[in-house]
Amino acid sequence: MCGICGVLHFDGQSPSVDVLQAMTDALRHRGPDDGHTYINEAIGLGHRRLAIIDLSEAGAQPMTNEDGSLWVTFNGEIYNFLEIKLELEKRGHVFHSATDTEVILHAYETWGVDCLARFNGMFAFGLWDAPRQRLWLVRDRLGVKPLFYLQRPDKFLFGSEIKAILADPTIERQLDLTALHHYLSLNYTPAPYSLFANIRQLLPGHYLLVEANGACRIESYWDIFYREQIEQPEAVWLNQFEERLAESVKLRLISDVPLGAFLSGGVDSSAIVYWMSRQMKQPVKTFSIGFQERSYSELPHAQQTAQACRTEHHERLVSPDTIKVLPKIVWHAEEPTADSSMLPMYYLAQMAREHVTVALAGDGADEILAGYETYTAFYAAQLYRFIPATIRKRLIAPLIQRWPPSHHKISLDFKLKRFVQGAELDPEAQHAYWRIIFDETAKAKLYTAEVRHALQGVDTVDLYRATFAQTKATHPLNRMLYVDTRFYLPNDMLVKVDRMTMAHSLEARVPFLDYRLVEFAATMPPHLKLKRWRFGKYLLKISLQHRLPDLAHWRKKEGFNIPKASWLVGELRDFAFDHLAVPQIKRMGLFEPAQVTALLNDHLAKKQDYSHQIWGLLCLSLWWQKFMK
């Protein structure tokens, strides 16, 4: 796992050595083991290395082929590189390292851009093809690894993080209001946007070709296709699923450094730990984070799995005083992202890095196997709408809205309020609404008149509709799974994992997102993913019920949330009021200070739970101070 960056000049200039070095240095936390740059005529490539495979100098990057015609800077892992390497050696290629990086070079020599079809992994890389005078930028199929870029008339820059691009002092820092609009709705910035005008993200499963004359072309090379008519016994599906998951975990155990696993106590991470324990000779090192607030802590469940799998288990509690690191978290998140679970993830990665360099995680299972309650909510909404509209809107909804807010984890009042509002929408808007923080009405009220005018007609739900339009799936569940896998997963969940692990130079691997397992899950009948509208990840749970008998497989998903609602009226009150004070809001020039203050006061008075909204605004304020001041 590493940090990559580069610059290609279109005006005949050679990249500045100092600027390229500054870009590379900005990614030091992603690769503390080594760093190098390469400059030749108009191209400059930078690399920071976190050595995982072939720890020798032979693995240094940027790396070239035998005649120096190709250069690559690579972040990630190609898990099946040994298989590809063997095939290339049979074709006469000679290798000088034991790395997967060198496989990329020789695979490109042999198959060109079509070599991507052979790679199984998580990756982002930039490859300079000198004979063609062309830069090839690639992001993996599911978007596990990030890749940002900026195109100007005179040059093109790219990096694993925005900080690398901003290291060029000629880059102006301007706010993208459309991106801000979507951020407020989602608490994350959806690709291809970033909050910086002109800095964009390459979408998952896409590559970008940049010619030396400035011409750019983006191509999609992979997508998920749902085959909904395959019929076979449940036992056959179960056996095939287990084989693929076990193989996916096995592939991700390839490492020349110590590795372990994140263990939340949920079914996803427990499954990963189980299959690791079956395939590793030594006990699996597992890591868990908990909270003093019982409704938020899953440590007892994690301990059950750790005992059943006989792991070497490590735990840590997160408390409100850890908020001191929030500015640092915002600096690493940078797009920005305000998923509050970044806080425990930050400490989880910090703890794991004290013992290992690689950690396997359970992310992705919810999106491919229907683990979220939003899928159940879709079917519940269909039933709910059989109730006459007059009763729903004049009796039930007002009654639910008067329900006192609770600060418990995913409380009943929160779910009911969200449900009765979203159930009145069409299915696509409904699916978006379950995750909306500020809706369009709330944002319009929050904005200054100038910002409100500039954003007229922009609706975040349209992003969901556009993603729904991309899938050919017809079953409602598969359509929702497609949107969450292609939109929510890479823009929020995988950002959280990548940025918080890389903050501590820790590599995270996600077996559920092996593209072959994802494609297999897309062929599974919907009822094996969501059973009777209630039991998500059904096949996964069935596969574990006799292997980990102490696990409460059928308990509801709890997530990795923090008790921010109670923290914001307690230990974090002054911190929030300080960073969302009227002078700071006026300096940003985006929001009406009175509206921000009202949110804080209403939450403090427990009139409504505005913790999600306040957290998003708080992270935005910290981001502004870090990046725009």
User: In which residue are the tokens 């290395």 written?
Assistant: 49
Residue tagged 């709890």 (tokens): 558
105 and 70 Cβ atoms separated by less than 8 Å:
yes
Q: What gap in Å lies between CA 530 and CA 377, rounded to an integer?
A: 12
Tokens 């509690």 correspond to 317
| DSSP state letters, 206-233 | EEEEEETTS-EEEEE-------------
Residue 221 backbone class (left: φ over 0; alpha: ψ -120 to 50; beta: rest)? alpha
Tokens 């002078």, residue located = 583
Identify the helix (H) or strand (E) that includes residue 626.
none
Strands 121-129 and 134-139: antiparallel
Contact 71, 62 (CB under 8 A): yes
Q: Which amino acid is at 446?
A: L
Please, is 47 exposed, middle or buried when counting C-beta atoms within 10 Å of its C-beta (0-12, 13-18, 19+)?
buried
Q: Are 360 and 510 in contact (CB under 8 A)?
A: yes
Of the candidates 159, 169, 162, the one whose C-alpha atom is nearest the C-alpha of residue 189 is 162
Which residues, at least 6 apart from 257, have a Cβ–Cβ distance to it below 8 Å? 51, 52, 55, 356, 357, 358
Q: Is 59 buried (19+), middle (13-18) or exposed (0-12) by CB count in 10 A?
A: buried
What are φ and ψ of residue 140, in 5° steps?
-60, 165
The two structure tokens encoding residue 522: 């897309």
SS3 at position 421: helix
Q: How far apart are CA 192 and CA 204, in angstroms?
A: 10
Active site annotation includes 115: no
Check 2, 5, 115, 309 and give the catalytic one.
2
3-state secondary structure of 3: strand
Structure tokens at 28: 């030091």
Spatial contact of 161 and 302, defined as CB atoms under 8 Å apart: no
First to last CA, the chain: 31
Q: Which of 589, 261, 270 is nearest to 447 (CA)?
A: 589
Tokens 């929408």 correspond to 425
Specify whether the CB–CB gap between 95 and 89 falls below 8 A. yes
Please spell the DSSP secondary structure of 487-503, one letter per residue. Answer: IIIIIIIHHHHHHHHHT
Q: Kindly state the DSSP code that residue 8 receives in the 8-state scheme.
A: E
Q: What is the dihedral of CA 470, 471, 477, 482, to 10 degrees?
A: -70
Q: Centre a 10 Å sphere on the Cβ of residue 162 and count the other Cβ atoms it contains.
A: 23
Catalytic residues: 2
